[in-house]
Each structure stands twice: as C-alpha cells, then as structure tokens.
Amino acid sequence: MATEVGSSAEPYADNTPLTHLFGSGARVKIIAALLGEEGTDLNVSDIARLAGVARSTVYDHIDELRELGVVEHTRNVGDSPMYRFDAESDVGEYVAKLEGVTLRRLLERDKQLET
C-alpha cells in the first residue's frame, strides 16, 4: 500500500482509510503518510510530499504528534531530523489497528472483499 519515497505519484495520504474516516486534514494526512511507510525513516520533505501538504504544515504538527506518541524522531541526517510512525506506542498501535479495520470496511463496502 505504500508509495515509493522517490516517486512522483499522487500523494499517498490522499486516499487512505484514515482520510476516509477522519477527513483530509493535514494531521490525518501526515499520520497516514508515515503509517504507509511504517518502519521507514522520513525527513520532513518526504512526509510533506507523501501527505500532499506543505513542509511548513508538517513542521506545524510534528511536535504535537510526537507528544501524542504517534510519531517518533529517530535520528538526524545532517541537519535534517528523521521521523517514523511510532507503532510501539499505545496510540500508534491503536491508530494502526483502526486503519486496518477501516480499510477492511471500505473494501467490503466497495465489494472488493467478501464479508
């Protein structure tokens, strides 16, 4: 389901289970983009491209998402902080489960999956 980090396709987060469930707000798109690349460290530019938002928007939300336990800062590469979805936190675990359940429901609704 993830989009290759270097690709120029439509932003990953534009059509994810979380954006279907919660709308297309910037935070949802940022979370969806990071979740779609789970386990991969991304810089702010990569997150912004995958989420379909401006880099400044990522900077506006990233600290609070870290405080909530959805995003973790993993390291710095030069001056660029790297982030990833925090699947080990309580909140991250529930968000990942919610995305999976929502995806299943969407597939059932669209008759792409047998109930």
pLDDT in tens, the chain (115 residues): 444 555 556 777 777 777 766 766 899 999 999 999 989 999 999 999 999 999 999 999 999 999 999 999 999 999 999 999 999 999 999 999 999 999 899 899 888 877 6
pTM: predicted TM-score of the whole model, two decimal places:
0.78
Q: Is 95 left (phi over 0), alpha (psi -120 to 50) or beta?
A: alpha
Torsion of CA 96, 70, 58, 36, to 10 degrees: -20
Rounded CA gap, 3 and 77, in Å? 22
pLDDT of residue 10: 74
